Amino acid sequence: MNIKSIKSEFPIFRQKTPAGTDLIYLDSASSTQKPQSVIDSITEFYSSHYANTGRASYWPATESTRQVEQVRKNVQQFIGAKSETEVVFTSGTTDSINKLANSIFNSDLWKGRQIIVSEMEHHANLVPWQIEAERHGLNLVAIPLLDSGELDLVAYKELLEKPTALVAITAISNVLGTINDVNKICRLAKAVGAITFVDAAQLAPYAGVNVEYLCCDFLSFSGHKLYGPTGIGVLYGKQDLLNQLPPFAFGGGMITEVDIEGSSFRDSPFRHEAGTLNIAGIIGLGAAIDFVEEVGFETIQSHEDELTIDLLNRLADIEGLKILGEQDRRGPLISFTIDGLHPHDLSTYLNESGICVRAGHHCAQPLMKKYQIPASTRVSFGVYNDMNDVEQFIKALKGAYEFFL
C-alpha cells in the first residue's frame, strides 16, 4: 500500500461535503476514518459466518469463534504480549480503564497509598481513578507539567517516595501531543513496587504498542482510533495479575459454576469477558490491525511527522497564534489558541470549507486550567492526510483571520 495513494482506501473521501468541497479530515485524534478493508470485514462477517461465539458445536459458530480467537492472537502479536490470554476485549479505552479501576482495589491493603496520574490525562484516565481513590481511601496525585508541556520527572520521583499503589499515565497527550517517556515512568514505578497502567489510545495508531518495551502491567487502546470499528477496545494485562483480579463483569461465558448462593469463575481472558462480545467489532479490529501493519508503522510515523513539522512551521509565522507545548517529541497533533478568535467560531468557519478540526477542552479540563484557557483548537493527522490538507487548512485559517479579526 502506497502512503501517497492511501486516501483512496477510505470511501468517505470519495464524496463531497455538504459545502461542496473535498473532506479535509483533521480530527483523527478523536476518531479515525475506516478503510474499505475494515468495512468489508464487517459486511463479510455478518453476511457469511455470523453466529455467537463460545464453542457452540455448529458452523458458523465454530468459524466465528475461530476468527475471534485468531484476532486475539493477532492483538497479542501487535502489542508484544506473552500470551493471548493477556488480551481482554472491552468496548474501548474508557471501558477498559473503568473496569480495571473498579476491580483492582478490592482490599483494604491499598488504603493510604497513592495513585499517580499526570496533569495531562484525558478524563478517561483520571476520573475513574479519582472515584476509586475516594472509595477505597487512596490519595490521587498528579505529576505536574513543565512549561514545555513535558512531565516533570523530578517531581515524579519525589511523588514516588510516598507509598504508591499505581501509576496511570498516557503515552501521548491528546491535547499537547507530548510523547511521554513511558518506559522510564514505568521502570521508576516498578522500582517502588507500584502497578503501572498505560493509556495507549493515541500511541497505538501512531507508533504501535510494545508492552515489553513500555514495561507496563496494564495497557489499553481503542479500535475506533486505530482505523477500526467503534465499540471495541483492548485491555492488556500481565497474565498473573489478570487472573488475580476479580472479574470485571458477570454473566455468560465467564463462569465455572453458579448456584443461587454463589459462583466461581474462569481464568483470564474469559474471566473478564461477560456476555456476548462485540464479535463484529473484534473482526473489524483484526482487519484494522492488518491494515496498519501492512502500511507499516515506520511509514505511518514518518508520514505523519512530516505533516506535523510542516504545520508547526507554518503556524509559527501566524500572528496571535499560540501553540500549546513546545516539547521535542510530539505525536501527530497540534493544539493552539488565537487571541480574539474562539475555537468554536474557527471550527464553524473551517467547516464551511470542508475542514474538520476539534474545538474545546478535549476532555482534559485539568490541563486546560493549567494553561488558563477554556478551550483550544486541535489539528490531528491520520494516514490519509497529505500536504494539500495542510495547505487548505492554512489558507482557510487566514480567511478566518480576515473574517473575524
Partner 1 sequence: MNDRLKSLYQTVILTKAKDKKFVGQLESYTHSITAYNPLCGDKYELQIIVEDDVVKSLKYNGSGCSISKASTTVLCEKLEGCNAQQVLSGIAEFMEIVDSDASRNAEEITKNEELLAFAAAREFPERKSCADLSWKELQKQFNQLFPYHSKE
Of the candidate spans 77-85, 164-172, 349-357, 390-398, the one that interacts with a copy of itself by CB under 8 A turns out to be: 349-357
Do residues 90 and 236 make contact, with C-beta atoms less than 8 angstroms apart?
no
- List, as one string, the DSSP characters of 311-348: HHHHHHTSTTEEES---SSB-SEEEEEETTB-HHHHHH
All three cell numbers of 284: 473489524
The contact mask relative to partner 1 for 374-403 (x = CB under 8 A, - = no) is xx-----------------------x---x
Can residue 251 be called a binding residue for a copy of itself (CB under 8 A)?
A: yes
Side-chain-side CA neighbours of 82 within 13 Å: the count stands at 9
Instruction: Write the DSSP symbol of residue 287.
Output: H
Can residue 222 be called a binding residue for ligand PLP (CB under 6 A)?
A: yes
Can residue 81 be called a binding residue for a copy of itself (CB under 8 A)?
A: no
Site residues (CB under 6 A) for ligand PLP, limited to 112-141: 122, 124-125
Site residues (CB under 6 A) for ligand PLP, limited to 353-382: 363
The contact mask relative to partner 1 for 86-125 (x = CB under 8 A, - = no) is ----------------------------------------
Dist CA 84 CA 391 (whole Å): 44
All three cell numbers of 144: 505536574
User: Which of residues 122, 136, 303, 330 is near a copy of itself by CB under 8 A?
Assistant: 122
> Nearest distance from residue 179's CB to ligand PLP, in Å?
12
Dist CA 57 CA 370 (whole Å): 57
Closest of 344, 325, 345, 349 to residue 335, by C-alpha: 325
Can residue 54 be called a binding residue for partner 1 (CB under 8 A)?
A: yes
Which of residues 31 and 62 has its CB atom nearest to partner 1 in the complex? 62
- List, as one string, the DSSP characters of 232-268: -EEEEE-HHHHHHSPPSS-STTSEEEE-SS-EEE--T
Partner whose binding site includes residue 191, from a copy of itself, partner 1, ligand PLP, none (CB under 5 to 8 Å by kind): none
Dist CA 349 CA 189 (whole Å): 45
Can residue 44 be called a binding residue for partner 1 (CB under 8 A)?
A: no
Identify whether 363 is a catalytic site residue.
yes
Closest of 164, 170, 152, 223 to residue 191, by C-alpha: 164
Q: Which amino acid is at 42?
A: I
Of 186, 216, 356, 363, which is the active-site residue?
Answer: 363
| Sign of the dihedral defined by the CA atoms of residues 337, 338, 339, 342, in that order | negative
Q: Which amino acid is at 285?
A: L
| Non-local CB neighbours of 309 within 8 Å, separated by 6+ positions | none
Can residue 360 be called a binding residue for partner 1 (CB under 8 A)?
A: yes
Three-state secondary structure call for residue 24? strand
Of the candidate spans 74-82, 90-98, 108-116, 355-363, the one that interacts with partner 1 by CB under 8 A turns out to be: 355-363
Of the candidate spans 92-100, 147-155, 183-191, 289-297, the one that interacts with ligand PLP by CB under 6 A turns out to be: 92-100
Helix (H) or strand (E) holding 98: helix 93-104
User: What number of helices (H) and strands (E) belong to the chain?
Assistant: 14, 15
Can residue 93 be called a binding residue for ligand PLP (CB under 6 A)?
A: yes
Can residue 347 be called a binding residue for a copy of itself (CB under 8 A)?
A: yes
Can residue 259 be called a binding residue for a copy of itself (CB under 8 A)?
A: yes
User: Which of residues 100, 359, 379, 383 is near partner 1 by CB under 8 A?
Assistant: 359
Helix (H) or strand (E) holding 128: helix 127-136
Can residue 337 be called a binding residue for ligand PLP (CB under 6 A)?
A: no
Helix (H) or strand (E) holding 90: strand 87-90
> Nearest distance from residue 215's CB to a copy of itself, in Å?
25
The contact mask relative to a copy of itself for 199-238 (x = CB under 8 A, - = no) is -----------------------x-x----xxxx------
Can residue 250 be called a binding residue for ligand PLP (CB under 6 A)?
A: no
All three cell numbers of 25: 479530515
Binding site for partner 1 (CB under 8 A): 19, 54-57, 61-62, 65-66, 253, 255-257, 266, 342-345, 348-349, 352, 359-361, 365, 368, 374-375, 399, 403-404
Binding site for ligand PLP (CB under 6 A): 92-94, 122, 124-125, 170, 174, 199, 201-202, 222, 224, 251-252, 275-276, 363
List the catalytic residues: 363
